[in-house]
Structure formats: structure tokens, C-alpha cells
Structure 1
Amino acid sequence: MRIVDVCSFYAPAGGGVKTYIDRKLQSGAANGCEIVIVAPGSEATDRRISDFARFVTIPSPRFPLDRRYRYFNDEGLLHETLDRLAPDVVEASSPWSSAVMTARWPGAAVKSLVMHSDPLSTFAYRWLDPVFSRRTIDSGFRFYWDHLRRMDEQFDMVVCASQDLTDRLSAGGLRRAVTMPMGVEPGIFSPARRDPALRRMLLEQCYLPETATLLLGVGRWSPEKRWKMVVEACAAAGASHPVALLLVGAGREHRAIADAIGGNPHIRMVPAMTDRVELATLMASGDALVHGCESETFGMVAAEARASGLPLIVPDAGGAAEQAIAADGLVYRATSAIDLARAIGQFIAGGVGAARMRALAKAGATPDMDEHFARLFARYRDHLERCHAA
């Protein structure tokens, strides 16, 4: 079975989608699938990675709002590429223009829309929730819901990484939304990587003793991640107990986050870690992951923390909340710095060691990506067999 992923969100510099794609390319062979990634690039390339993995780029312009990414703008060229690749299954990984282009491709392949992003939660709800009800916002963005319903009619399935997203899409009138939880890279994130010396050193760098609480915030520095809110909440919680916060990432909100930190010596920003083992060691060595984003489709960072035995403190909405519930973590009212500060205080008062023991007990149940791909590819096969039998 040949699966072609029309992947508009791929960025060579990294990110959750890159992590997902890199593992998909490795997982294909074990499941008897050839995986071909078609991504926007600076030039046309066609690189064979293995007998079961191939990477193709189509010349495309840079995305003006984030120069790390490019976007498909030539539907004819995309269709020619799909004709040449002749997939059994074609995936679109963005609900926007690339999905429209893919839906209009006249090939006979099974078509799957994989929801790697949730634009309504990332943008509309984030901007307007403080003023309007969800029903009013959805009414104002009816054009987007109409667009999603058209995509639902043109694709054979709409794949969601969390039940929360599946439920919201189904409530909005989509009939083909299915839940396929993602997972973490196998063999990397583990409680066994905990390094007490690293924890002690990080607390020292935040000018705090070993008895303080070390919170980690990992992810892209962009507005929807709400790092300024996390900084505010951690500073407030630190008024009654020594709290250090280490923010790991990169992005356009760097200056705004630094301004929010001000002169607080207990909060530090460090560049994103490209070495996955280094990141896994850091996660296993902290006291809790604190997260601000309520629009995660799966919550990759939260899942990686869960697999590392790191307790979770996350919003009560989106994919991260599902990770916290599964890991016996804490949730707070999304978008509220006050409630996040309360949750941090509750975490500390309940005993950091006790929270870690609960997280350790759940760490082994974290799903991995290979399980996700095996289930997803099996579903594609079933659909193909039904199509052939019809």
C-alpha cells in the first residue's frame, strides 16, 4: 500500500509535525506500506530514503506569517505529482488550501484529512472567547464550518488525534471524523533518564535550592501557547513557595515572553533542544510540566512528559487535557493565570514526590507512534478492501 502525505506543515527546522513525519517514514516498512511525503520546498526534489520511504518537494513560496514554512500554491503541479506517484491512499495534513487541492485531485485513492491543527481553537476561540459564547463565535465563523463540512463530504475520513476534537467536529456536522490518538517516539522518553544532578544544576541556575520546585515549559514561543500567562502564574505561585520555571523553545514571541519575565531570576528561557535524548533527559528530571495551550490537537509535549514520568499541569481543554486525565495530572481553567497559579500551589501542597509516584505509575501506558501508525494503516487497508469489494 502506497500512502502519499500532502504535508503542508512540514518544516526542516523541527516541530511536532516533523517529529510525526520522521517516525511515519520509519514505521511504513513494519506495516508493509510505502510512505511518500510531498512537502512544499525551495526547489523540486525527489529523494528515496529507503525501499519504503520517499520524500518529494514541490517548489513553493514561503508562508508570510512564519518564514520557517512554505505553502502549496500550484494545484496543477500538485495534481501532476499525485498522478506520477499513483497512491493507494492520499492524506492532506492541513484543513486549508492544500486539502482543497487534494480533494479536487481526480485520482481513485482513498482520501484522508489528518487534522494536525485546530484553527478555531488556535485563533477564533483564543481571540473571542473572552467576549462571546462559543455558539456566537461558531456562527460568526460559519464559513469555516461550511468549509469543513465540504471537506468531510470529499474525504473518506477526517482523522483526529484526540476525542475532544472528534466530538467538536461531529457536533459541527462532520460525519467522517474518527479518533486515532497519536503517541511518542518509542525508546526515547522514559523515567529512567532522570538525572538528579541536572535538576540540581537547573535550580542553581535559577538561583534556587534543591528543595524548590522545578517546572518545565516546552514548546514553540507563539501566542497560542500562552507562555506569558504561564510566566505570570508561576511568578504568583512563587510568592508562597520557591518555584523555578525553565522555558524551552523558540519563536516570534521571544521578546514578549522575556519582557513578561522581566528581572525574575527564577525563570529562564533556553533554546529549543534538537537532540531528542537531551530533551527526554530534561523531561525526566523536572518536577512537573506546565502548559498553557488549550488548542492542542493531541498534546505531543504533554505525551512526552507523561512517558517520562513527569507530572502534568495543563489546561482543561484540548488534547493536553486528555493526556493529564490519563496520567492522573492536574488541569486548570483554560486561559486563566489565576487558576493556573492555584493549580501549581495545589500541586506543591499535595507533595511533589507523591505526584511523581502517580505519574510514574502511568508512564508505561503512554501510547507510542508505532501503535498509532499500525492502527491508522490498518484502517486504510480496511477501507481499501471495502472499496474493492463494492
Structure 2
Amino acid sequence: MRIVDICAFYAPRGGGVKTYVERKLQAARPGEQEIIIVAPGDRDGVVMEAPAGRIISIAAPRFPLDRRYHYFDDEPRLHALLDRLRPDVVEASSPWSSPAMVARWRGPALRSLVMHADPLSAYAYRWFGPVASRRTIDRGFDWFWRHLRRLDDGFDLVVSASAGLSARLRDGGLRKVATVPMGVTPGVFSPDRRDEALRAELLARCGLRPDATLLIGLGRHAPEKRWPMVIEAVTGAGYANPVGLVVLGEGRDRTRVIRATRSNPHIYLGRPETDRQRLATILASADALVHGCEAETFCMVAAEAKASGLPLIVPDQGGASDQFVEGQGARYRACSTTSLAEAIRRFAATMPAHQRAEASRDAAGVMTMDAHFERLFATYAEALAMRTGLRDAA
């Protein structure tokens, strides 16, 4: 089964999507699946090769809002490439223009739209949520729902990584939604990586002693991640109990994030950690993950934190909320600094070590990314078999 992924969000210095597609290459079994990732980039060429596939780049313009990324702009060229590759399954992993290009391709492949992004939550709900209900916002953005319904018509499957997003898509009129939960890189994240000396070092960088609570935050410095809100909430909670926050990330919103830390010496901003083993050790050495984004489709960092034995302090909407386990952290009202500050206060005051022990006990049960891909490939194989059966019956 040859799977071609038209992947608009892949970049060599990207985040969750990069992790996802590169693991897909490793999870595929040579002779059973062949994976070809097609990404827009600086130039034409092969970016990476693996036993079961490769990542190829086609020259395309840079995306103006994030210069790490490019975007597909040449539909005839994309169609010609698909004609040459002759996939059994073609995936599109963006809800914007590239899936419409894939839907208009005349080839016979099974088409799968993988919802790696939730633009309504990331933008519309965030922009207008303070003044309007989601139902009202959905009516105002009915053009986007119509666009998604047209994509639903043009694809055989719409793959969602979380139950919450699947429910919203079905409520919006999509008929072909399949929930295939994602997972974490196997063999990397574990509570056994906890390093008390590293924990003390990170707290020292926050100007605090080892008896303080250490929170970790991971992710791009982008408006939808709401780092200024997280920082303000940590500052408020810190008046009751000493709380340090380590945030690892970078992005176009970095100036605002730095500005938000000026009133709190107990926050340390670091660059993204590219060494996955080191990142796993940092995660396991914290006391909880704190996350501000309610627009995640799955929330890979929350899953990695769970696999590291961390409680989660997450909003009550989006993929991060779906990761939450009662008694292992706290859920707060999405977009609310006050609610988040209270959640952090409660966590810091009510036996965080006990909650971490509970989370550590459950860590081994977090789904791996390889299990996700096994289920995804099986879903495609079943759909192809069903199509063949229907064709033979006709």
C-alpha cells in the first residue's frame, strides 16, 4: 500500500507535525506500506530517506505568517506529481487549500483528510470568544464549515485524533469522520527518567529552592498557545505557594512572551530542546505540565507528559482536555487566567507528589505513535478492501 501524504505543515525545524511524519516513516513496514511525504519547501529534492519511504520537497512560496513553512500554490504540478507517484492512498494534512487540490485530482486513490489543525479553535473562537458564543461564531464562519463539508464530500475519510474534535466535526455536518487517536514516540518518555538534580537545577534557574513546585510548558510562541496568560496565572498562583515555570519554545510571539515574564523572576524561558532523550528527562523531572491552548487537535506535548508520569494542568476544551485524567492535575476554564491561576494554586497546595505518583503508575498505558500508525494503516486497508469488494460486486 503506497501512501502519499501531501503535508502542508512539515518543515525541517517544525514541531509536532515533523515528529509525526518522521515517525510514520519509521513505523511503516517495508513490503507492506510505502510512505511518501510531499512537503512544500525551498527547493525540489529529497529531504529524508527511510527503509519504507521518503520525504520529498517541492519548491513553493514561504508562508508569510511563519517563515519556517511554505505553502502549495501550483495545483497542476501537484496533480502531475500524484500521477507519477500512483498512490493507493493520498492524505492531505491541512484543512486549507491543499486538500481541495487533492480532492480535484482525477486519480483513483483513496483520499484521507487528516485534521492536524483546528483553525476555528485556533483563530475564530480565540478572536471572538470573549464577545460571542461558539454557536454564534460558527454561524459567522459558516463559509468555513461549508468548505469542510465540501472536503468531506471530496474525501473518503476525515481522520481526527481526538474524540472532542470528532464530535465537533460531526456536529458541523461532516459524515466521514474516523477517530484514530495519536500517540507518543515509543521508548523515549518514561517516569524512570526523572532526575532530582536536574529538577533542582531548573528550579534554581527560576530562582527557587527544591521545595517549590516546578511546572513545565512546551510549545511554539504563537498567540493560540496563550503563553502570556499562562505566565500571568503562574505569577498569581505564586503568591500562595512558590511556583517555578520553565517554558521551552520559540516563535513569532516571543517578544510578547518575554514581556509577560518581566514581573516574575521565577520563570525561565529556554529554546526548544531538540534532543528527544534530553527532553524526556526534562519532562519527567518536572511536577506537572501546564498548557494554555484550547485549540489542539490531539496535543502531543500532553501525551508525552503523561507518558513521562506528569499530571496535566490543561484547559477544558480541545485535545489537551481529552488527555486529562481525574486526580492527576487539574482542568481549568479555557481562556481564563483566573481559572488557571486557581487550578495551579490547588495543585501546588494539594499533594502534587501524590498526583505525580498516580500519573507515573498510569504512564505505561499511554498509546504509542507506532500503535496509532498500525491502526491508521489498518483503517486504510479496510477502506481499500471495502472499495474493491463493492467494485467486484458491481
Residue 326 of structure 1 and its aligned partner are, at CA, apart by 7.2
Residue 46 of structure 1 and its aligned partner are, at CA, apart by 3.8
2:378 equivalent in structure 1: 378
Residue 327 of structure 1 and its aligned partner are, at CA, apart by 7.8
8 Å CA contact 1:31, 1:377 repeated in 2: no
8 Å CA contact 2:26, 2:50 repeated in 1: no
The 5 Å alignment of 1:303-314 reads: 303-314=303-314
2:113 equivalent in structure 1: 113
8 Å CA contact 1:216, 1:288 repeated in 2: yes
* Aligned-residue CA RMSD (Å): 1.2
The 5 Å alignment of 1:202-241 reads: 202-241=202-241
Q: Give, as a single letter, the amino acid of the residue that structure 2 aligns with 1:147.
A: H
The 5 Å alignment of 1:151-162 reads: 151-162=151-162
Superposed CA offset, 1:151-173 (max 9, x none): 00110010000000000000010
Measure the CA separation in 1 of the matches of 2:96 and 2:264. 41
What SS class does the counterpart of residue 101 from structure 1 fall into?
A: helix
Q: Give, as a single letter, the amino acid of the residue that structure 2 aligns with 1:5.
A: D
Measure the CA separation in 1 of the matches of 2:328 and 2:304. 15
Residue 264 of structure 1 and its aligned partner are, at CA, apart by 1.9
Residue 207 of structure 1 and its aligned partner are, at CA, apart by 1.4
Measure the CA separation in 2 of the matches of 1:33 and 1:131. 48
Superposed CA offset, 1:282-328 (max 9, x none): 00000110000000000100000000001110000001011113784
Q: Given the superposition, is the C-alpha separation of residues 199 and 31 from structure 1 closer, same or farther in structure 2, using an over 3 Å criterion? A: farther
Residue 388 of structure 1 and its aligned partner are, at CA, apart by 1.0
Superposed CA offset, 1:122-174 (max 9, x none): 00000001101111101100100000000001100100000000000000100
1:200 equivalent in structure 2: 200
Runs ≥4 in structure 1, deviation > 2 angstroms?
325-329
Measure the CA separation in 1 of the matches of 2:40 and 2:167. 31
Residue 33 of structure 1 and its aligned partner are, at CA, apart by 0.3
What SS class does the counterpart of residue 111 from structure 1 fall into?
A: strand
Measure the CA separation in 2 of the matches of 1:116 and 1:327. 29
Length-normalised TM-score, structure 1: 0.98
- Among all aligned residue pairs of Structure 1 and Structure 2, give the percentage whose two residues are the same amino acid: 57
Measure the CA separation in 1 of the matches of 2:192 and 2:11. 31
Residue 343 of structure 1 and its aligned partner are, at CA, apart by 0.5
The 5 Å alignment of 1:231-310 reads: 231-310=231-310
Q: Give, as a single letter, the amino acid of the residue that structure 1 aligns with 2:288.
A: A
Q: Which moved more, 1:24-33 or 1:312-321?
A: 24-33
Q: Give, as a single letter, the amino acid of the residue that structure 2 aligns with 1:338.
A: T
1:362 equivalent in structure 2: 362
Measure the CA separation in 2 of the matches of 1:326 and 1:182. 20
Residue 54 of structure 1 and its aligned partner are, at CA, apart by 1.6
8 Å CA contact 1:292, 1:314 repeated in 2: yes
Measure the CA separation in 1 of the matches of 2:215 and 2:27. 33
Measure the CA separation in 2 of the matches of 1:225 and 1:116. 15
8 Å CA contact 2:328, 2:356 repeated in 1: no
Residue 329 of structure 1 and its aligned partner are, at CA, apart by 3.2
1:49 equivalent in structure 2: 49
What SS class does the counterpart of residue 29 from structure 1 fall into?
A: coil
8 Å CA contact 1:192, 1:284 repeated in 2: yes
Structure 2 unmatched ranges of 5 or more: none
What SS class does the counterpart of residue 49 from structure 1 fall into?
A: strand
8 Å CA contact 1:298, 1:319 repeated in 2: yes
Q: Give, as a single letter, the amino acid of the residue that structure 1 aligns with 2:27.
A: S
Measure the CA separation in 1 of the matches of 2:326 and 2:163. 13
1:145 equivalent in structure 2: 145
Measure the CA separation in 1 of the matches of 2:30 and 2:295. 32
8 Å CA contact 2:314, 2:330 repeated in 1: yes
Superposed CA offset, 1:93-138 (max 9, x none): 0011000000001100000000000000000000001101111101
What SS class does the counterpart of residue 49 from structure 2 fall into?
A: strand
Measure the CA separation in 2 of the matches of 1:236 and 1:55. 45
Q: Give, as a single letter, the amino acid of the residue that structure 2 aligns with 1:78.
A: L
- May I ask how many residue pairs the two structures share in their alignment? 390
2:316 equivalent in structure 1: 316
1:332 equivalent in structure 2: 332
Measure the CA separation in 2 of the matches of 1:31 and 1:355. 45
Length-normalised TM-score, structure 2: 0.97
Measure the CA separation in 2 of the matches of 1:369 and 1:31. 20
Matched, 1:345 2:336: no
Q: Given the superposition, is the C-alpha separation of residues 327 and 365 from structure 1 closer, same or farther in structure 2, using an over 3 Å criterion? A: farther
What SS class does the counterpart of residue 364 from structure 1 fall into?
A: helix
Measure the CA separation in 2 of the matches of 1:345 and 1:188. 31
1:20 equivalent in structure 2: 20
8 Å CA contact 2:329, 2:347 repeated in 1: no
